[in-house]
Amino acid sequence: MAVVFAVNGERVELREGDVDAGATLLEFLRTRTRFTGPKLGCGEGTPPPPSPPPPSLLCGCGACVVLLSAYDAASGAVSHAAASSCLTLVHALHHRAVTTTEGLGAGRGRAGLHAVHQRIAGFHASQCGFCTPGVCMSLAAALAGAEAKAGRGPEPDPPEGFARLTAAEAERAVAGNLCRCTGYRPIADACKSFAADVDLEDLGLNSFWRKGDAHASKLPRYHQGSIGVFPEFLKAEIRASSGTQQLHTLLPASAGGASAWHRPRSVEEYYEMVGSELFGGGRTKVVVGNTASGVYREAEVYDRYIDLRCIPELNLVSKEAKGVEIGAAVSISQAIEILRGEGGCSDVVFCKIADHLEKVASPFVRNTASLGGNLVMAQRDQFASDISTVLLAAGSSICIQVSSKRSTVTLEEFLQMPPCDSKTLLLSIFIPRWTSVSVLSGDRNTGGTSVLFETYRAAPRPLGNAVAYLNSAFLAQVSSDETSGNVILRELCLAFGAYGTQHAIRVRNVEKLLVGTPITASVLLEACKLLKKTIVPKEGTRHAAYRSSLAVAFLFSFLYPVIKGTLKPVKAVHLNGCVTSGTNGNPNCGPDMHVDVSLKKIDNANSGSYSNDCILEYSNQIIEINKDYHPVGIPAKKVGAELQASGEAVFVDDIPSPKDCIYGAFIYSTKPLAHVKSIELDPSLKQLKTLGIVTVKDIPERGSNVGANTIFGPEPLFGDPVTQCAGEPLGVAIAETQRFANIAAKRAVIDYGTENLDAPILSIEEAVRRCSYFETPPFLLPQKIGDFSKGMAEADQKIYSEVKLNSQYYFYMETQTALAIPDEDNCMVVYSSSQCPETAQNVIAKCLGLPCHNVRVITRRVGGGFGGKAVRSLPVATACALAAFKLQRPVRMYLDRKTDMIVTGGRHPMKICYSVGFKSDGKITALHIDLFINAGMTKDVSLIIPHNFIEALKKYNWGAFSYEAKVCKTNISTKSAMRGPGEVQGSYVAEAIIEHVASALSTDANLVRHRNIHTVETLALFHSECTEDAMGYTLPSICDQVTASENYQRRLEIVQSFNKNNKWKKRGLSFVPIVHKVLSRPTPGKVSILNDGSIAVEVGGIELGQGLWTKVKQMAAFGIGQLWPDQSQELLERIRVIQADTLSNVQGGWTTGSTTSESSCEAVRLACNILVDRLKPIKEQFQEKQGNVSWDELITKVVSHFLNYYSVAIINIQATMVGVDLSAREYYIPGPSGSYLNYGAAASEVEIDLLTGASTILRSDLIYDCGQSLNPAVDLGQVEGAFVQGIGYFMSEEYVTNSDGLLITDGTWTYKIPTVDTIPKQFNVKLLNSGPHKKRVLSSKASGEPPLLLAASVHCATREAIRAARNEPRCSGFGSSPSHFDLEVPAIMPVVKELCGLDNVERYLESLMSSI
């Protein structure tokens, strides 16, 4: 039987053999329809697992989100849900309607845009645009869902133009969507613009109104009912088919080897199916939502799929007095609604379970993931399930069937059973209803008892979408002892999971200790010690001691009110109808956060506990608009933002595959140093339609094994005959689909050998020991300053210490991709997502042995780069071209996220040893740095990193300054330039030194900072090539604005007061200045005026999301507009910036270093000047004859070949006009002082939880000198985005490798970039206009990289909070200097907790006992 569904209102019918049963909806949309809006950002539904697969929570990136709608023929209701299309199998969509971002609007172009598209664009919430369609659909799904729910109750209609969402709900709609560009603030504002309870004046910079002039009428109108309209034809088919019996096998296996899809209609039919001979051989996969494939990334090809969703029994919900029974196929989102509906305002347990379930994965995963599937993974695959832990504590039971035998077992018994196989079917989950007189077991009389129930989880992200380090749930029956009045635990269930164990467990030994005994400090201390011995992660679990300490912290939080004598056994109540849930939602909740609000003693109202408050509490953007060069300087909307939102923007992988196109995937080494003896495809995967492997042997005779090239030399495309690192490409697997190519590559069989090879070098220390270095050319090294020995002799104190910094992955949303198409006469056209297409052209030509004019590289836009699409994009484009050249067929490669993370490398790890001398007043007299940089296996651009590091370090006056720098050659993946390469580390190390000095002097670090900030004179000494006058050197005034204000001093006092009055939370406030040098690069610009007066512009720079096209377009309008001094001609909409083409605009160079936008603008301005000089005399001649001349009139006359033979004068004029060249090209070359300095400062306030180590950024205030901004909206977006990316580096992005140097944090579920719930709750940015400067492009300054350095303020504020914690008496076990300590980068939760004391609970309880 066919599968029938709708895509954007269009009917789709799949019949036998049309599409493989294992194909995802995303794969189908992108290869079989014209709808390419949904993007493959993480690919966590398709790539295979490592071995063994790590248990974790499914996360994903949200780029592929679509809206799934279902129609209930019985009720006539339509339900909507966001879904991850990279996990949803296309054959599971029978009678569903799919809406992509293209389907939101009424067609292509601006007229067809939906309000969601327009507001996302208008709030400047799209930069590279790759994530934008997914953001739009997550928001659209929330809007549609709110409308559907509103139809069930008597809620009032929202004001016209608004939706039924609250501002908090609108923000949470995109909590699972990742964005690497924007910093999330504008996305949150765009979402909140739909909320009925929002104050529009609180929303940030947008293109609809100016501050103080907000009104709903200025927003693009939102019409309720405009999202997810269910097609009438599909409704009719559903009604016609309802009640009819359908065959369970929808798509039988075809002769071509396609998988079969089965849909049993009953439990009996399921067992008949799995017991039949048909299922005796081959591989079978049982699915409901298929979300498990995002957790255990599969390298398998299945012969058949069994879809359980049509078994009625698995979808039933039974509500009884004793509890609720939920079918195993019910989605997690549906289960949340059921529990909330049942909980109402009376059942705390149900409501708190629902609260906790909302922290499982992302909304678009919960909507399709089943409750039973989650429990089966926990039981069978040791999945780190939150759900199993919470339901275990609630006393849940499971109904299962094994073959013909059906039984009901407790969840604890189910988890302890042998792993489930296809013979075991989980039917339903029963959750008992707990009341004030309920008991855990029926053999004890505990009348008059009350129920306490709490759930906890500690995870990197407050709103979920992250694996927990540990989760727990506790249920207790409590009552008062009639004699003593003490609170007694009559029954107790303590459940723990996700800490590195097979499954969730009950700690019965601790329960036994606590039950029946009055809870005192000594009893609780004994319980904590016993618990820590019980909760022991299995060997190899990261942060094992931290996880054990979390168990103690959560138990302490649960029972702390008891020992304080504040717990009174009362009936459970709610707080404003909403139950707080331990650390559920935000791991910052301390022991005073208890379900019983009569016991609740919250130290601070803004403690960060989960509530309906908005994620982003407040933001402010201060910009200054300069109209001297109109339209340059106005905050114009980003070019193409609407196209990106509506899915019309074309990225490389959106280009339709040419006829006979095939696909490639890298086969990479898993060994750090080994001979590669052979590479073969797994013979068991014959059905994959693979076409072979392209290796070094396939390089043409005249070509060479080169995959990248820089000014420092080439690097190989493939490791041959020896692979130099784990992650080095060895070949390319070729197949008929990208999915099959990925599977074939991961299953490739590689024969290694290590004979006659030394041990690999995997660390800086080993490289130093073996003197393994790349030589750095002396001209790249900055000058040293003064006499270091003399400076040290002048010092009152000296410090010798070191700092270690790890790597960071780019995490651009669009992974590396290329499409290579063979052309006539031995030519090759390559579409590459690259920051340097010209270099790609050169490398491809050299690899293939062709002249460069035979290779054409085209780049339209790049879905995020951050340096990773520069050198590291070259091997992908080259390998793709090589495969196409060999096979003479189009070949495309789109790296899955894991492969991209492994082969691409990232930021440079470093080790920095420093010696610093200083006076007793904090004035530094001398500094010496020994800098060791881990470059990896090849040079790339690593030899410039010492220069960048030192230049950023010189933001302070160090007195005498000297250094030694070594670039280490090691057997790890090549590291390359990443946003602020070297500068981020150098600027941070400067702060680490300043804070160490302050600690040694027991003084405020800010005083030391101010004492060592440059004067104009010392700045000239340290940065002699970037001379500044007093007006240009804005850093001192910026620092004064940040720290000398009354507001800052008041905040500092509040922080000190908070720390004095809070036991388990501490705050820190810190400010960081930056001095960042940038260098302008030569760049071409070409401006062509077409016959109709429209203007085409070509530049060397690539649009990466940084707004380069937007600024260039504004500059072109200004440049040409100079023909009219009164600025009477509006030319902005007449201009189009076109894609980079290496055979059209040569010498394009690299789009790196933050200055390409301004260099491209200057090149365009110079080209416009040429055109103005050509057109101005002609315009003046026409004006003499006919008065004012418009742009259209001028161009019409210029291009006209009509000669008026009746007037000699006119003939002469027109003869002149016919000869005008309407195209001009200019190559901008910066002068000798092409470099300049950027200044900025940030103050950040951070709150830490001493029990969990969680950090919350309460506020960040940024001031950045942007010169006279070319576009304040674009520059503001760059500042915010860079700052949040820096937060990731300093606080959350843990880059972990195995013993062979192979990256193991290789996906969205193990590598945690910031999300909307981790940015500053108050986020304020001011762009400082520092006035005119002749040496810069229209007095502008760069904004792409320098602001990232300001994120160190968050790390420094965290250090201040930890310092406050370590000064507490219970944290006295840190030696003689509790104020000085090393805080790792990133400062993840385990790091913070360890510095606050893994045993701080035990110490606190001991102090209570000693005070009695």
Residues labelled catalytic: 1345
Backbone angles phi, psi at 417, to 5 degrees: -70, 160
Whose tokens are 């409501």? That residue is: 351
Q: How far apart are CA 22 and CA 942, in angstroms?
A: 43
Structure tokens at 202: 């609180």
> Could you give the residue ranges of the DSSP H alpha helices within 811-962?
837-848, 874-887, 897-904, 945-953
| 1112 neighbors 638 (Cβ within 8 angstroms) | no
Name the DSSP letter for residue 459.
-
| Residue 373 marked in a binding site | yes
Q: Which residue has the tokens 């009936």?
A: 571
Residues 564, 520: Cα–Cα separation, whole Å: 9
| Nearest one of 1121, 924, 941 to 1008, comparing CA atoms | 924
> Is 386 marked as a binding-site residue?
yes
Q: With contact defined as beta carbons under 8 Å apart, do 386 and 498 qualify?
A: yes
Is 426 assigned a ligand-binding role in the annotation?
Answer: yes
Torsion sign (Cα): 844, 847, 850, 851: positive
For 109, the token pair is: 């172009």
42 is an annotated ligand-binding site residue: yes
Which helix (H) or strand (E) covers residue 1005, if one does?
Answer: helix 1005-1012
| 783 annotated ligand binder | no
User: Cβ neighbours of residue 860 under 8 Å, at least 6 residues apart?
Assistant: 650, 651, 652, 831, 1103, 1139, 1140
What stretches of 266-317 show up as alpha helix (H) in DSSP? 267-274, 292-295
Provide the pairing of β-strand 773-774 with 960-969: antiparallel
- Which DSSP state fits 500? S
- Smallest CA-to-CA distance from 337 within 701, 81, 566, 652 is with 81
Token pair of 965 as six digits:
């720098």
Integer Rg of the chain from CA: 32
Residues 985 and 687: their CA atoms lie apart, in Å, by 49
Q: Is 315 annotated as a binding residue?
A: no
Exposure on the CB side of residue 253, measured as CA atoms within 13 A:
14
- The answer to whether the annotation marks 1153 as part of a ligand binding site is yes
Nearest of 1088, 1139, 1107, 1100 to residue 830 by alpha carbon: 1139
**Chain position carrying tokens 């467990």:** 505
**576, 542 contact by CB (below 8 A):** no
Contact status, residue 994 vs residue 821, Cβ threshold 8 Å:
no
Q: How far is CA 826 from CA 820, 852, 854, 994, 1101, in A?
A: 13, 11, 7, 60, 28
Number of neighbouring beta carbons within 10 Å of residue 1408: 17
61 is in an annotated binding site: yes
As a whole number of angstroms, the distance between CA 1156 and CA 1077 comes to: 14
The answer to whether the annotation marks 131 as part of a ligand binding site is: yes
Q: Residue 175 and residue 60: Cα distance in Å, rounded?
A: 11
880: annotated binding-site residue? no
Buried b (16+ CB within 10 A) or exposed e, 585-604: bbbbbbbbbbbbbebeeeee
980 contacts 958 by C-beta, under 8 angstroms: no
CB neighbour list of residue 1126: distance below 8 Å, 6 or more residues apart: none
What's the CA gap between 14 and 26, in Å, rounded? 15
Distance CA 721, CA 737 (A): 29
Cite the annotated binding site for [2Fe-2S] cluster by residue number.
42, 61, 64, 86, 128, 131, 179, 181
Q: Which residues are annotated as a binding site for Mo-molybdopterin?
A: 835, 866, 979, 1153
Task: Detail the residues annotated as belonging to a binding site.
Answer: 42, 61, 64, 86, 128, 131, 179, 181, 370-374, 386, 426, 457, 835, 866, 979, 1153
Query: Can you say which residues are annotated as belonging to the binding site for FAD?
Result: 370-374, 386, 426, 457
